[in-house]
């Protein structure tokens, strides 16, 4: 049983009344485990067909995210090759709710302002289907690196990953984004069952600090959201000061916003006008609370806000430094030669200016990518690979962004799925060379049809190009 902070218990008892005993009993239960199938790789149905180990568990979908699946905590999903291939993302089920209400669409410009470690960014990307611009920002450098790695693992092509403060980022964008997600840093009360450290570090002082920080972040988000745009605010805390209170204070400062009334799933609770800190906030009951004694998940809060106004077709918004200028694809003939020899698709046409070069490194920019001048950027779209003397070496990111049908040569590493024979795939993940017959050249290595890395065949020996830093 988790030892809850006394001041937290007193406040929760006051908030929940007769429901408080059931709330406390929820901490005696095991935390809920879930994964979200990455539909950039394939459909949920395809995943269920290709995963024989799922036969050992009772498949149950997460109600508010059709890609989400609950699983037993003893299942080693984090160690399976499918995880390395980006086939799914292990994500707490309640954490899937904000993006489901963001309603991201292809060809939009979307910002995830507090994005690490990447669960919600990669969820947004699945809705965007690699079309449009997704800016994923994280203030802390180490966490931004993890975010970038998860963007790569999930095969996302249209993401710009930045490491900036919200204030610095807002200086470059004015009413630019169609949708913004603010999954704000918070006191983490909703994660006490999942992370006991959060319980030990909790304090009323930190709740106040978080609330002040949330006010600042939301003001930055407002500056960057276009008229008529959607802003989803979420936390993983129960603290009224950080939930209804933060939303009410935001509406007081920005009366041009309204809370959107949204459908709730079974077990979801409404926000309360009693918890706004005395500030009137119309439709605050339309915000959503998730309590662990009512749903299969941890504590969460979210509000869907709509900004007044509308924009004409072709609207761009303000960019401090305009759009990023790329280079013509025919300026890097080594890449075009690689594409012609090894791919069945065109990632970029010869006369397109979608490529960005940093020394030897080559990237394919998202559509209408803003200038990265003055920004700390970890990933400027899809990393294609390295330009070496008279040749091109594809990146691991490119492998994970491709499907078997996109390449001329591939090698299946887990052909005997029904037998659960993992020896060949494990050998590859360990960095071993493999025997294979076929035409020499680059091969997309696949696991049950999902791309997982590169190999290069010469003399019937498949040289292993799985990154050394990822090897088992």
Residues carrying an active site annotation? 236
One-character DSSP codes across 428-462: HHTT--EE--S-SEEEEEEETTEEEEEEEEETTEE
Report the length, in residues, of the chain.
472
* E-state strands within 39-131: 60-61, 68-71, 88-90, 108-112
Distance CA 443, CA 44 (A): 26
**Tokens 């791309």, located at residue:** 451
Query: How would you classify the pairing of strands 68-71 and 33-37?
Result: antiparallel
Token representation of residue 63:
């109600």
Burial of 361 per CB tally in 10 Å (0-12, 13-18, 19+): middle
399 in helix, strand or coil?
Answer: helix
Q: What contacts 154, CB < 8 A, 6 or more positions away?
A: 38, 40, 41, 86, 89, 118, 122, 125, 400
Token representation of residue 279:
């500030």
**Tokens 């795939």, located at residue:** 425
Query: How would you classify the pairing of strands 450-458 and 441-447?
Result: antiparallel
Token representation of residue 389:
């003397």
**Tokens 């979908």, located at residue:** 61
Distance CA 173, CA 274 (A): 36
Distance CA 61, CA 70 (A): 6
Distance CA 465, CA 456 (A): 7
Closest CA relative to residue 237, chosen from 280, 275, 281? 275
Distance CA 419, CA 91 (A): 28
Distance CA 190, CA 105 (A): 29
- On whether the CB atoms of residues 13 and 287 are closer than 8 A, the answer is no
């Amino acid at each position: 049983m988790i030892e809850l902070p006394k001041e937290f218990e007193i406040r929760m008892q006051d908030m929940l009344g007769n429901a408080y005993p059931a709330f406390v009993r929820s901490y005696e239960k095991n935390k809920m485990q879930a994964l979200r199938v990455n539909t950039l790789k394939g459909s949920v149905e395809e995943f269920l067909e290709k995963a024989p180990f799922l036969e050992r568990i009772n498949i149950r979908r997460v109600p508010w995210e059709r890609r989400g699946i609950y699983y037993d905590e003893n299942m080693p999903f984090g160690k399976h090759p499918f995880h390395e291939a980006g086939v799914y993302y292990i994500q707490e089920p309640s954490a899937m709710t904000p993006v489901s209400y963001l309603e991201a669409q292809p060809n939009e410009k979307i910002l995830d302002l507090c994005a690490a470690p990447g669960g919600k960014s990669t969820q947004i990307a699945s809705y965007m289907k690699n079309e449009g611009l997704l800016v994923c920002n994280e203030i802390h450098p180490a966490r931004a690196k993890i975010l970038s790695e998860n963007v790569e693992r999930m095969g996302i092509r249209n993401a710009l990953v930045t490491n900036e403060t919200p204030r610095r980022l807002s200086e470059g964008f004015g009413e630019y984004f169609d949708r913004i997600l603010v999954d704000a840093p918070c006191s983490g009360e909703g994660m006490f069952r999942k992370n006991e450290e959060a319980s030990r570090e909790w304090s009323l002082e930190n709740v106040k600090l978080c609330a002040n920080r949330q006010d600042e972040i939301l003001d930055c988000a407002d500056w960057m959201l276009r008229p008529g745009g959607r802003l989803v605010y979420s936390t993983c805390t129960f603290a009224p000061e950080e939930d209804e209170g933060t939303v009410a204070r935001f509406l007081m400062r920005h009366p041009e916003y309204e809370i959107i009334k949204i459908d709730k799933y079974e077990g979801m609770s409404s926000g309360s006008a009693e918890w706004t800190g005395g500030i009137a906030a119309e439709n605050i009951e339309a915000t959503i609370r998730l309590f662990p004694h009512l749903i299969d998940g941890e504590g969460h809060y979210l509000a869907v806000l709509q900004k007044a106004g509308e924009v004409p077709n072709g609207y761009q918004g303000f960019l401090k430094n305009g759009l990023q200028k790329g280079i013509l694809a025919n300026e890097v003939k080594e890449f075009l030669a690689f594409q012609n020899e090894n791919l069945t698709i065109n990632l970029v046409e010869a006369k397109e200016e979608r490529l960005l070069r940093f020394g030897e490194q080559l990237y394919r920019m998202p559509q209408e990518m803003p200038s990265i001048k003055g920004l700390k950027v970890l990933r400027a779209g899809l990393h294609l690979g390295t330009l070496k003397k008279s040749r091109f070496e594809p990146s691991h990111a490119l492998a994970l962004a491709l499907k078997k049908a996109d390449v001329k040569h591939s090698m299946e590493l887990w052909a005997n799925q029904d037998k659960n024979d993992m020896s060949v795939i494990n050998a590859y993940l360990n960095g071993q060379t493999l025997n294979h017959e076929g035409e020499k050249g680059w091969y997309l290595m696949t696991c049950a049809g999902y791309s997982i890395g590169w190999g290069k065949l010469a003399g019937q020996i498949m040289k292993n190009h799985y990154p050394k830093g990822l090897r088992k």
